[in-house]
Copies of this chain bind each other. A is one copy, B any other.
Amino acid sequence: MLKKKPVTGMKDILPGEMAIRNYVLREVRRVYGGFGFTELETPIVEHIENLSSNQGGENEKLIFKILKRGEKLNLKEAESAEELVDTGLRYDLTLPLSRYYANNAQNLPSPFKALQTGNVFRADRPQRGRFRQFVQCDIDILGESSALAEIELILATTTLLKRLGFKDFTVRLSDRRLLTALAKYSGFPEASYDTVFIILDKLDKIGPDGVREELLKAGFSEPDVERCLGLFKESEGDISSLAAFCAALGDNLPAGAEESLRTIMQSVASVSDGGFKICFDPVLVRGMSYYTGTIFEIVMAEFGSSVAGGGRYDDMIGRFSGQPVPACGFSIGFERIITILSEQGFKVPEEGKRLAFLLDKGLSAERTAQILKEAMALREAGNTVLVSPMKKNRRFQKDTLEAEGYTEIRDFYE
Contacts and interface: CB of A to CB of B under 8 A. Distances in A.
A407 to B, nearest CB: 13
In this complex, the member of A22, A45, A382, A404 whose beta carbon has the largest number of chain B beta carbons within 10 angstroms is: A45
A12 B66 contact: no
Copy tally for this chain in the complex stands at 2
A212 to B, nearest CB: 36
Nearest to A11: B43
For chain A, give the interface size range: 35 or more
Interface in A99-117: 99-100, 102-104, 107-109, 111, 113
Given A4-B321, A372-B155, A385 B40 contact: no
A408 B372 CA distance: 47
Contact of A22 (B39, B146, B352): B39
A72 to B, nearest CB: 11
A181 interface: no
Interface stretch (A47-55, A213-221, A243-251): A47-55
Contacts of A373: 270-271
A199 interface: no
B113 A2 contact: no
B36 A385 contact: yes
Interface in A127-173: 132-133, 144, 146, 148, 151-152, 155, 159
B41 A107 contact: no
Given A40-B15, A148-B387, A148-B389, A103 B4 contact: yes
Interface string A327-360: 0000000000000000000000000100010010
Contacts of A319: 1-2
Given A10-B45, A15-B108, A121-B45, A65 B67 contact: yes
A15 B39 contact: yes
Contacts of A34: 352, 379, 382-385
B42 A67 contact: no
A335 to B, nearest CB: 13
Given A12-B42, A39-B15, A43-B6, A81 B67 contact: yes
A99 B368 contact: no
A75 interface: yes
Contacts of A401: 109
A7 B43 contact: yes
Interface in A64-83: 64-67, 69, 73, 75, 78-81
A301 interface: no
Nearest to A42: B12
B22 A107 contact: no
A324 to B, nearest CB: 13
A386 interface: yes
B376 A155 contact: yes
Contacts of A273: 376
Contacts of A13: 40-42
Contacts of A263: 365
A5 interface: yes
A78 B81 contact: no
A2 B146 contact: no
A12 B38 contact: no
Given A44-B133, A270-B369, 15 more contacts: A2-B99, A14-B104, A18-B41, A34-B385, A36-B356, A45-B89, A45-B121, A45-B132, A67-B67, A67-B81, A75-B79, A109-B400, A111-B388, A111-B389, A113-B386
Interface of A: 1-7, 10-15, 18-19, 21-22, 29, 31, 33-36, 38-47, 49-50, 53, 64-67, 69, 73, 75, 78-81, 84-87, 89, 99-100, 102-104, 107-109, 111, 113, 119, 121, 123, 132-133, 144, 146, 148, 151-152, 155, 159, 263, 266-267, 270-273, 319-322, 352, 356, 359, 365, 368-369, 372-373, 376, 379, 382-389, 400-401, 404
